[in-house]
Amino acid sequence: MSNNVPEATVARLPVYQRALIELVREGASSTSSEQIASMARVNASKVRKDLSFLGSFGTRGSGYDTGYLLEQIDRALGLDRSWPVAIVGLGNLGRALANSQGFSSRGFFLCGLFDVDPSILGSRIAGVLVRHVDEIGADPDRAASPAIGVVATPAAYAQEVADRLVAAGVGCLLNFAPRVLSVPPHVLLRYVDLSIELQVMSFYLSHRGAGPGVPAGSAISAAASLPHPVGMNAGA
Amino acid sequence: MSNNVPEATVARLPVYQRALIELVREGASSTSSEQIASMARVNASKVRKDLSFLGSFGTRGSGYDTGYLLEQIDRALGLDRSWPVAIVGLGNLGRALANSQGFSSRGFFLCGLFDVDPSILGSRIAGVLVRHVDEIGADPDRAASPAIGVVATPAAYAQEVADRLVAAGVGCLLNFAPRVLSVPPHVLLRYVDLSIELQVMSFYLSHRGAGPGVPAGSAISAAASLPHPVGMNAGA
DNA sequence: GGCTGTGAACCACTTCACAGCC
DNA sequence: GGCTGTGAAGTGGTTCACAGCC
């Protein structure tokens, strides 16, 4: 198997994994591509083709053994190890991330939290000490150095933070700042961008027969552009 | 133009928009596909092809007028209106979202916040009253009804919340819960899934060298700093 | 008979290369 | 000459349809 797995397939493996965890929990000892597909809301041949990139783990005529398949997917995803993650920027979002299940779940652990705000430096979030951004990569202990860096700073600082994380040796960057970043080619960069998601939705809403959108010039949208918008007035 | 814009193109328009806002702020009155491309980290023909789906806004030989192009992109994205957004689930993540720039920015406004926790019902977050989930869609005022619903609840409640938002008439759902949702075909569903992002990164870390960009086994990728997984076989 | 694994057809998006226009 | 706009070629991913195996 190894390396020729399409990116789109990789992104679906965690979804199959979740379906399998659910099935195992329910006590189902075997399953089918059809069943996984319906849980993952994709079609069955996609499931079969995706799994075939990892190997052939099923039995013709009867399906897949849930536990075994789950193991294989976990192994393919590299979840038989734990990757150290550092979060930079501990505003509302960064703190929410630090406290979220995602990082404490199997496969990952928080190895560092960084910010510049003196009022939180030295405190602990999710049990981890908050250090100054200048200390990124300063720890001589290799095992304390992050494999994954999460950027949750304001947009203006995102590139500099990314540069520091790269210098500290991260292999992957997950960027929550609304900013295009530049990283060397050996670093995998992924974006989670709320404003892009919203704008894509706006596109579809406005190209799908007039929905409940409020014209931009109206009082309501003027209010909406203030820091603390209050919605709901009479509509257009 | 209208509706035949590829989804991949739609997702890049906000990035071009950002680049143009930056250019306008710098006072640049005109620009080129090459310049936009370098700011968006894509290649120039992609920019030209993407823009050509919206119309032909440039001038051969000289480029694009920044202000005019920005206007056209905003119009294509439907940002000449403001869309009402409701957030359901006001834990750490939901609160961070409610307070984030994304929603108060041009094009969107918070029209409702919903939860079930009695200790926050009736309070205000980002200036908006927190109401009980049962009140989703209960408001007879059509303008108060959300066009976009954001699901930020624990996974277990996500499907039920999605159903309620759909019943209340949302056209789009943005799901932050680690759960596959089922919605009717007329509703646009998008996911922001931290654990998928992390697991994709785990895949690339453990298949290092296979990542996009650097061929497997190359000197660069082998030399490219340390892998730091911790522990093996962390039992399922 | 039933379900997996997979070549082949298909489709969406990207990239190329150049015609068209300033 | 320079840069846009766009057919055409190329690429990656999805879906089909069926051979292979239990």
Q: What is the DSSP string of B112-150?
A: EEEE--TTTTT-EETTEEEEEGGGTTT---GGGS-SEEE
Amino acid letter at B125?
I
The 10 Å CB-count burial string (b at 16+, else e) for A51-82 is: bebbeeebeeeebbbbeebbbbbbbbbbbbbb
Q: Are B149 and B86 in contact (CB under 8 A)?
A: yes
Percent of chain A past pLDDT 90, that is, above it, reads 80
pLDDT digits (tens, 9 = 90+) for A108-139: 999 999 999 999 999 999 999 999 999 998 87
Count Cβ atoms within 10 A of the Cβ of residue B163 and give its class: 0-12 exposed, 13-18 middle, 19 or more buried. Answer: middle
* pLDDT score at A188: 97
Which has the closest alpha carbon to B142: A198, A220, A229? A220
Q: Give the per-residue pLDDT at B93.
A: 97
Q: How far, in Å, CA of A146 to CA of A85, rounded? A: 5
Contact A194 B96 (CB under 8 A): no
- Which single residue is written with the structure tokens 């050996």? A186
Q: Is the CB of B100 under 7 A from strand C?
A: no
Note the pLDDT of residue A212: 54
Q: How far apart are CA B192 and CA B85, in angstroms?
A: 16
Average pLDDT over residues A58-65: 97
Q: Identify the band that residue A2 occupies on the pLDDT scale cut at 50, 70 and 90.
A: low
Which among A95, A180, A205 has the least Cβ separation from residue B15? Answer: A180
Closest by CA to A40, choosing from B163, B154, B179, is B179
**Identity of the residue in A204, A207, A234 whose CB atom sits nearest the CB atom of B143:** A234
Q: Is B123 left (phi over 0), alpha (psi -120 to 50) or beta?
A: beta
Q: Which residue is nearest to nucleotide D14 (CA to C1')?
A: A46
CA A115 – CA A39 distance, rounded (Å): 40
> Is B65 exposed, middle or buried, given 0-12, 13-18 or 19+ CB atoms closer than 10 A?
middle
Instruction: Give the least confident one: A146-150, A213-217, B177-181.
Output: A213-217
What is the C-alpha to C-alpha distance for residues B25 and A178, in angstroms, rounded to an integer?
17
Helix (H, G, I), strand (E, B) or coil at A56: coil
- Strand D, nucleotides < 7 Å from a protein CB: these are 1-7, 12-17, 20-22
DSSP 8-state symbol, B27: T
DSSP H or E run through B156: helix B155-167
* Nearest-CB residue to B95 (from A92, A188, A190): A92
Strands B188-191 and B172-175 come out as parallel
Residue nearest to nucleotide C17 (CA to C1'): B45
pLDDT at position B223 is 29
For residue B41, say whether its CB is under 7 Å from any atom of strand C.
no
Element (H, E) at B165: helix B155-167
Mean pLDDT estimate for chain A: 88
Which domains does chain A carry?
7-76 (1.10.10.10), 83-192 (3.40.50.720)
CA–CA gap between residue B44 and residue B38 (Å, rounded): 8
Listed by number, the residues of chain B in 140-199 with a beta carbon closer than 8 Å to a beta carbon of chain A are 141-148, 169, 171-172, 174, 178-180, 182, 188, 190, 192-199
Put simply, whether A82 touches B (Cβ < 8 Å) is yes
User: Looking up tokens 């939290």, which residue turns up?
Assistant: A113
Rounded-to-integer distance, Cα A206 and Cα A201, Å: 9
Residue of B nearest to A102 (CA): B195
CA distances to A42, A109, B232 from A59, in Å: 21, 36, 28
> Cβ–Cβ of B82/A212 closer than 8 Å?
no
A73 CA to C11 C1' in angstroms comes to 28
In chain B, residues with a C-beta closer than 8 Å to the C-beta of A108 are 198, 202
Among A214, A187, A199, smallest CA distance to B76 is for A199
CA B209 to chain centre: 29
Give how far B53 is from chain A: nearest CA, Å: 13
* Cβ-based contacts of A72 with chain B (< 8 Å): none
B20 close to A (CB below 8 A): no
Of the candidates A74, A202, A232, the beta carbon closest to that of B77 is on A202
Q: Tens place of pLDDT for every residue, chain B, 236 residues? A: 456 899 999 999 999 999 999 999 999 999 999 999 999 999 999 999 999 999 999 999 999 999 999 999 999 999 999 999 999 999 999 999 999 988 878 899 999 999 999 999 999 999 999 999 999 988 777 667 999 999 999 999 999 999 999 999 999 999 999 999 999 999 999 999 999 999 999 999 999 753 332 232 333 333 233 334 443 332 22
